Chain A
Amino acid sequence: MRAGLAGWAFVAPALLIIGVFFFLPVLAAFAVSLTDFDLYALADLRNLRFVGIENYLELLKSRDFWRALGNTCYFVLAGVPLSIGVSLGAALLLNSRLTRWPALFRTLYFAPVVATLVAVALVWRYLLHTRYGLLNWALGFLGVHPIDWLGDPRWAMPAIILFAVWKNFGYNMIIFVAALQAIPADLYEAARLDGANGWQELRRVTLPLLRPTMLLVAVLTVAGYFQLFAEPYVMTEGGPLQSTMSVLYLMYEQGFKWWNLGSASAVAFLLFLIVLAVTALELRFSRARDAA
């Protein structure tokens, strides 16, 4: 009994905060998304009208929403495999028995992850400069003509993807390294006794055993990459020609630039549902493969 009271007393402050500042707003967001909450309602609540699912229908009819969703999907579809590939590559390098100073390299590779997103996105904005940027200068040695990375609608998203891979690969790398270290050494010895070479070891031993980690990393990264916002905000302001306008950027502009809070809430809910559906698909796909 005493423990019961104490238990509630201990969890109460945290629950209160999470309840008031997270659960309540989430529920309210759904309610707000069913209204025409705008600047007039912000000034006087009597101007608020219930509009049902009209915000959602409007969005599904609007070119801006589909454009933002398309851009975000481009970022996810290209960025996630690239990021995970680089993470896995780096983890394999770090985990090799031949590697000297793996801890030092691990720390170096991880630095971009902790670096403030806004600050390093700004750094990249200059690195990607058409005339004075380091990237075009380096590409010049390979005979590549200067690319207008952030000013050309075809190149702006690839540039942001490049940046995101640089910024994030260290995170999943840490998870992969931990998983690689958990693989028992005798499995590799057995493979070697059977005459397997390095490549076959990777294909037949390492990668199959990494499957659960791969799924976890994929789920986390996909969900994270759908929340693209600060990169275009700092590097391109959504442009050029809206080529880097993401769903979250659209939500921010709808909500806090035009003060269409109803429509912005609908955008947030749609994004949430999309991420939820994609995650469910990933899990189902992996289970189906495990069963096969």
Chain B
Amino acid sequence: MSARGARILLHLALLALAAVTLLPLLWMVAVSFMPAGEASAFPPPLLPHHPTTANYRLLFAARGAGRYLANSLWLASLTTLCSLVFNSLAGFAFAKLRFAGREALMRTLLAALVIPSQVAMMPLFLMMKWLGFVNSYAGVVLPAAAGIFGVFLVRQYALLIPDELLEAARIDGASEARIFLRIVLPVLRPILVTLAVLTFLGSWNDFLWPLIVLTDQRMYTLPVALATLSREHVQDAELMMAGAVLTVLPVLVLFLALQRYYIRGILMGSVKG
């Protein structure tokens, strides 16, 4: 086969895969702008004949979408903030501060990475119930406020900080807190962006735990609200697709803006974790 033929075949394959990947997402957007009932036809329409924003308006006016959007944004932001603070402190300490029991502690945490989070969920729910955190933001944020993966992500990066840099600051009489704030945090910036993106997307997309711990509809996040709404409104394809767009769009935009950092996180997490 000629090089030219190979090149054309290769790009046909690339384009075909791109079409299959994007079609469901594009269809979702198209249907979300169709008037109620239009998508339930044969052959299935690919574009709205008379585009309308009625579904979005209904979603916000009658289905409380603004509330769910605010819940999701608030929970994901708060989780991200906590995760940045706690994981960066611990990650840096595991990499650069000597303290008794450090190695044993690290091995224990690493080994615990194999335990899936659902194992903890039943007692966690009981604990939240006793603490009065069921159906509260704290119930969602606290279990994700620090995590083994996050600690190790920061640690791997912090290992690269030269010891001389920290020693010089110590000789100058700087406290550990000051060193962390003034020297370490600026150096860790790239990995903290990675951690922030991973945490925000993870929290936004999380489903099982919010489904369990949030029992009042007013507290629902977008995915939980969407899953619940879809059970009552299966036949309203257009309305549901507007809800899906609302849920997916923020994370897709965030990913597109910061994908370099996100992909670094995947590679560090899977290659070294």
A binds B: yes
Q: If A109-B21, A126-B39 touch, does A100 touch B11 (CB 8 Å cutoff)?
A: yes
Q: Which of A7-15, A64-72, A153-161, A186-194 makes up part of the contact surface?
A: A7-15
Which of A75-83, A203-211, A249-257 is the contact stretch?
A: A249-257
A25 and B127 contact, CB distance less than 8 A: yes
Interface of A, secondary structure class, is helix
Question: Does A116 lie within 8 Å of B251, measured CB to CB?
Answer: yes
Please tell me the number of chain B residues within 8 Å of chain A, measured between CB atoms. Answer: 98
Q: Mark B91-120, 1 if CB is under 8 A from A, else 0.
A: 011100111101001000100101111111
Docked CA distance A98–B1 (Å): 14
A227 B118 Cβ-Cβ under 8 A: yes
Contacts of B204 in A (CB 8 A): 116
The verdict on A124 contacting chain B, using a C-beta distance below 8 Å, is yes
Which residues of B have CB within 8 Å of A4?
97-100
Stretch of B24-32, B48-56, B59-67, B187-195 at the chain-chain interface = B24-32
Cα A269 to Cα B14 with chains together (Å): 42
B157 contacts partner chain A, Cβ-Cβ < 8 Å = no
Which chain A residues lie closer than 8 Å to B176 at the CB level? Answer: 2-3, 6, 9-10
Cβ contact within 8 Å between B27 and A134: yes
B7 at the A interface (CB under 8 A):
yes
The smallest C-beta distance from A153 to any residue of chain B, in angstroms, reads: 19
Answer yes or no: B20 CB below 8 A from chain A CBs.
yes
Task: Find out whether the CB atom of A114 lies under 8 angstroms from the CB atom of B118.
Answer: no
B1-44, CB under 8 A of A: which get 1 and which 0?
Answer: 00100110011011001101111110110010000000111111
Cα–Cα distance between A81 and B243 once the two chains are bound (Å) = 32
Given contact pairs A6-B176, A29-B120, A111 touches B25 in the complex (Cβ within 8 A): yes
The interface residues of chain B lying within 8 Å CB-to-CB of A220 are: 270
User: Is the beta-carbon distance between A122 and B222 smaller than 8 angstroms?
Assistant: no
Q: A4-B99, A7-B98, A269-B119 known; A178 and B271 CB under 8 Å? A: yes
Within 8 A of B (CB), among A267-285: 268-269, 271-272, 275-276, 279
Query: B252 at the A/B interface (Cβ < 8 Å)?
Result: yes
In the complex, chain A residues whose CB is within 8 Å of the CB of B93: 6-7, 10-11
Inter-chain contact B143/A21, CB cutoff 8 Å = yes
Determine if B75 is an interface residue (Cβ-Cβ < 8 Å): no
Contact digits for B221-243, partner A, Cβ 8 Å, 1 yes 0 no: 01110110011001001001101
- The residue that A98 contacts in the complex, of B7, B94, B123, with Cβ under 8 A, is B7
Contact status B24-A120, CB under 8 Å:
yes
- Residues in A neighbouring B100, C-beta threshold 8 A: 4
Q: Is A139 an interface residue (CB 8 A)?
A: no
Q: Which residues of A contact B222 (CB under 8 A)?
A: 116, 119
B126 touches A117 (CB 8 A): no
A residues in contact with B85, CB < 8 Å: 13
- The residues of B that contact A275 with a CB separation of less than 8 Å are 114, 116
- B255 proximal to A (CB < 8 A): yes
CB neighbours of B248 from chain A (8 A): 115-116, 119-120
Can you list, as one digit per residue, whether each of B190-211 has a CB less than 8 Å from chain A (1) or not (0)?
Answer: 0000000000010011011001
Is A258 an interface residue, CB under 8 A from the partner? no
Whether B185 sits at the interface, judged by CB under 8 Å, is no
Check if A265 sits within 8 Å of B267, measured CB to CB: no
- Partner pick for A174 among B89, B208, B263, CB 8 A cutoff: B263
Contact surface of B with A, Cβ cutoff 8 Å: 3, 6-7, 10-11, 13-14, 17-18, 20-25, 27-28, 31, 39-44, 85-87, 89-90, 92-94, 97-100, 102, 105, 109, 112, 114-127, 142-143, 145-148, 151, 176-177, 180, 201, 204-205, 207-208, 211-212, 222-224, 226-227, 230-231, 234, 237, 240-241, 243-245, 247-248, 251-252, 255-256, 259, 262-263, 266-267, 270-271
Closest CB pairs A-B (n = 9): A7-B99, A10-B93, A25-B120, A7-B97, A28-B123, A14-B90, A6-B176, A14-B146, A118-B223
